[in-house]
Amino acid sequence: MSQRKIRLGMIGGGHSSFIGIVHRIASYIGEQYTLVGGAFDTDYNRAIDFAKQLELDPSRTYPNIDAFVAGETALPADQRIEAVVVVTPNFLHYPMAKQLIQAGFHVICEKPVTNTAAEAVELEELVAKHKVVFALTHTYTGYPMVRQMKSMIADGVIGDVQKVDAQYYQGWINPVIHDKEKRKSVWRLDPEKAGQSCCMGDIGVHAFQMVEYTTGLKTKKVLSDLNTLYPDNALDVDGTALLRFENNVRGIVRASQIATAEENNFTVAVYGTKGSLKWEQENPNYLYFLQENEPMQVMKPGHVYASELAKQSTKMAPGHPEGIFDSMANLYTGAAKAIRGEAYLEGSYPTIRDGVRGMKFIEAVLASAKAGNTWTEIVD
């Protein structure tokens, strides 16, 4: 088995990009990739400066994605970039991912994967046609205790799932949403750049994907209530979606970006017939296990009781905190195994299927709210 590092490229993610830093550090942590080049900025001079800062070969830094694809595909197969990270504003995910897939690159993409469900379905078909790996970075699925939760539910430890509650509260839009001029400058509130949704498309879809990832259930219907706060604000900044699954199971996704002073308060609770599991993103090393008439158990990474998926996702000895970089790194490691054709455990990284499900959720939520808060089916 070859341990040669996968040659990695990046579209976007240059100077001052928080998510670009997260992806680069994550790719380094697992020692599976080496960043070779990319198209880091719409300003080519800034892109070159950024490449020099990272000590990359300037000849592998391109002014745009067209030049990137042309330049890399012209190189011999043993030299060209193999996998490409897309970390651009939402509206560019679909056209860029499509172009890269058709050129034969493996793709690691930020979410939401596209602007519409139809575009996501098209990408899924192209991924199958061109036989490439597509990883969607729902970062929180990389945490060891989220993976422990998934494994315990699959093993029936909490019995049959009967209720799911996912909450994702942030407050970052609150300081700008009340000023008409300021909110015009926020790209996530611009439909041309953010797509159909702000809050549900940005963080609500994380909560939805986490529900389906941990429980293995598929949402059948949603009923939603969304809030734009101001009539001239086109996109939602707050919302609630009720979920219906098979076997009379119910759930709820609560998401807000106007939850004043909240930072990244993402929590998931799954209630079964025999027990319950709770996880909090701001305290990710703790998984709470509750049973009737029993003391609450607190599970942590790195211990012998962890599932195989959780063990493979832990890099440190017990008691050493792991965070968002480590979580993202686990997704990169899973994708690396898939790119190399190695065996990997189910749930090692989110795929294009998660992207399709996420876009169908977003569109169903929007349709439900538009129809006056009615139950809307997610057709899969």
371 to each of 66, 228, 305, 367, 375, how far by Cα in Å? Answer: 41, 16, 48, 6, 9
Residue where the block lists tokens 């996912």: 166
For domain 143-314+351-370, which architecture applies? 2-Layer Sandwich (3.30)
Element at 339 (helix H, strand E):
helix 324-340
Distance of CA 60 to the CA centre of its chain: 27
89 to each of 64, 171, 229, 267, how far by Cα in Å? Answer: 14, 20, 23, 26
Element at 117 (helix H, strand E):
helix 117-130
13-69 pLDDT, tens per residue? 999 899 999 999 999 998 999 999 999 999 999 999 999 999 999 999 999 999 999
280-318 pLDDT, tens per residue? 999 999 999 999 999 999 999 999 999 999 999 998 899
CA angle 67, 21, 347 (to 5 degrees): 95
R_g of the chain, CA atoms, integer Å: 21
Check: CB of residue 11 under 8 Å from CB of residue 39.
Answer: yes
DSSP 314: -
How confident is residue 151, by pLDDT bands cut at 50, 70 and 90? Answer: very high
Q: Domain 6-139 adopts which CATH fold? A: Rossmann fold (3.40.50)
Looking at residue 121, its amino acid is: V
Check: CB of residue 17 under 8 Å from CB of residue 94.
Answer: no
Domain boundaries, the chain: 6-139, 143-314+351-370
Dist CA 289 CA 269 (whole Å)? 10
Write down the pTM of the prediction: 0.94
Mean pLDDT across 107-111: 96
Domains 6-139 and 143-314+351-370 share a fold: no
The predicted structure's pLDDT at residue 2: 52
247-280 pLDDT, tens per residue? 999 999 999 999 999 999 999 999 999 999 999 9
How confident is residue 1, by pLDDT bands cut at 50, 70 and 90? Answer: very low
What is the average pLDDT value for the chain, to the nearest integer? Answer: 96
- Comparing CA positions, the residue from 349, 377, 345 lying closest to residue 363 is 377
Mean pLDDT across 135-145: 97
- Cross-strand partners of 166: 253, 268
**Is the pLDDT assigned to residue 173 strictly greater than 50?**
yes
Helix (H, G, I), strand (E, B) or coil at 239: strand
18 to each of 305, 343, 373, how far by Cα in Å? Answer: 35, 32, 36
- Comparing CA positions, the residue from 220, 201, 224 lying closest to residue 371 is 224
Residue where the block lists tokens 């879809």: 205
- Comparing CA positions, the residue from 71, 96, 75 lying closest to residue 85 is 96
